[in-house]
Structures are given as C-alpha cells and as structure tokens.
Structure 1
Amino acid sequence: MTEQEQGPNNRLALSNTEMEKESETHIKSGRPQSGVWKHFDRGESRGDGHWEGTCKYCKKFYPRAKPNALRAHLANNCKDIPEEWRRHFNYILINNLNDVPTDKPLTGESVNTQDWKKVEKLVANQPEMDASLIDEAISLAFIMCGIPFRVINNPFL
C-alpha cells in the first residue's frame, strides 16, 4: 500500500463495496417530502427545495411547485381527480392542515364524525345568543351564495 491509500480520511483507502455501503446508508437531510407529491410527477429541481411538478390526472405543469399550491389545485381546479381525493384535499385546506399522510383518501364517515365533534365542542362553549347569531350568519351565507341546502351533511340522518 502507498502512503495515499493508508490515510484515515482518504477516499482512496475505501474499496468499492465500502463506498457503496456508505452511499446507501447516507440519509438525506431537510424537510420530508409532502404527501401531495403522490399525485404529481416531480420534474427538475428549481433550487431551495422546490421542484417542477406535473399533475398525474390533468397534466397541468407547475414550474415551481409548492405543496400548498398543489393541494389547492387538487381540491379546486383539477377536473380529472377522483372525487374522494378532491374531498380529501378540500378537508386538508379547510382545516389548515399541512398534510395528512395517507395512501387512501379520508373517508367521508371519518371526516364528518371529526367535524361533528369539533362543532359539538364549539357549541357547548358558546352562549345561546352567539349560537343563534352564528345560525343566522350561516343561513344567510347559504342563501346569498346560492348554495343548495341539500349539500349539508346531517349526522342524524
């Protein structure tokens, strides 16, 4: 062995198999990839942890794909996404969740139950006058926006 090969910090001292093992065990640092990327094809890196992305359903291209914009696209704009995934991403956006890592969309049953429990807690802590004002405001919002009342999910039916 030459002096170059004997140095403890020298790369030449490592055999090919040792270098392969070292590269396999190297863990990437930084923020973990968002679950929304399961619905997008990742393109070229744009630096600072951002990538190009193309929707797997409608093929819309994002030159600098940010997870929030991708979630909004899937929830509101993508015409070809399955309805259960659209509801999943709507739920994430409405509740200001960063991500719900899952391979399956949230079921309507679990979402409605969770929402109902949140509403129960809020209503229990509200004075009766506030509750009636909130009911009036919600009714007015439905009427003014032309939203049909049949879209409301009633947990008692």
Structure 2
Amino acid sequence: MGQELNLRYYKMTCYHCNKVWARGKPSVLKAHLANECLSTPEDINKYWRNKLAENNITYTRTFR
C-alpha cells in the first residue's frame, strides 16, 4: 500500500499515474483506481469498481 503513518493513514503513490497522497486511506486509493485514474489498465479498473460496488451492497449501518 505505502508507508504507514499511523493505524489508518499511509503515504501512498499510484503506480499507474504517480499521483501522491501524503496522508491517505486505502479506500481513497481504491476509489482512485476504480474511478479517477486514466492510466489504470481496464482489468484493474474493473476489479476495483466491482469490489467497491460489492462493499456498498454488503454495508449495513448499526444504530446506537
């Protein structure tokens, strides 16, 4: 993923377009690969789009 800064944040770089996040979450990179990065190969782009859609479907909110 990248250099871990603390439990939730990483210094990350997209291997396809070299965009850098000084303090990002893995979900940000996944969304970038699925929706934003024009240099990502189609198979990788499709993989992350499907994974993100799968997460949205299975997400259930818990109320207190």
> Is the pair's TM-score, using the shorter chain for normalization, greater than 0.5?
yes
Is residue 47 from structure 1 mapped to residue 6 from structure 2 by the alignment?
A: yes
Q: CA RMSD in A?
A: 1.6
State the 1:49 CA deviation: 4.5
Gaps of 5+ in 1: 1-36, 98-157
SS at match of 1:74: helix
Find the aligned partners of 2:39 and 2:26 in 1 and give their Cα distance.
19
Distance 2:18 2:54 in 1: 27
Q: Which has the higher strand share?
A: 2
2:45 matches 1:86:
yes
Structure 2 unaligned blocks of 5 or more: 57-64
2:19 alignment partner in structure 1:
60
Cα shift readout 1:64-104 (whole Å, capped 9, x = no counterpart): 1211111100000011010010000000011107xxxxxxx
Q: Is the radius of gyration larger for structure 1 or structure 2?
A: 1
For 1:83, give the aligned amino acid.
E
- 1:5-51 residue CA offsets vs partner (Å, 9 max, x unmatched): xxxxxxxxxxxxxxxxxxxxxxxxxxxxxxxx3xxxx24x4223422
Question: Is residue 8–residue 25 contact of structure 2 (8 Å, CA) maintained in 1?
Answer: no
Counterpart residue type for residue 86 of structure 1:
N
Q: How many residues align?
A: 56
Structure 2 length-normalised TM: 0.75
- Partner of 2:55: helix, strand, or coil? coil
User: Following superposition, which runs of at least 4 residues in structure 1 exceed 4 angstroms of deviation?
Assistant: none
Determine the structure 1 residue equivalent to 2:60. none
With over 3 angstroms needed to count, the CA separation of the structure-2 counterparts of 1:78 and 1:47, relative to structure 1, is same
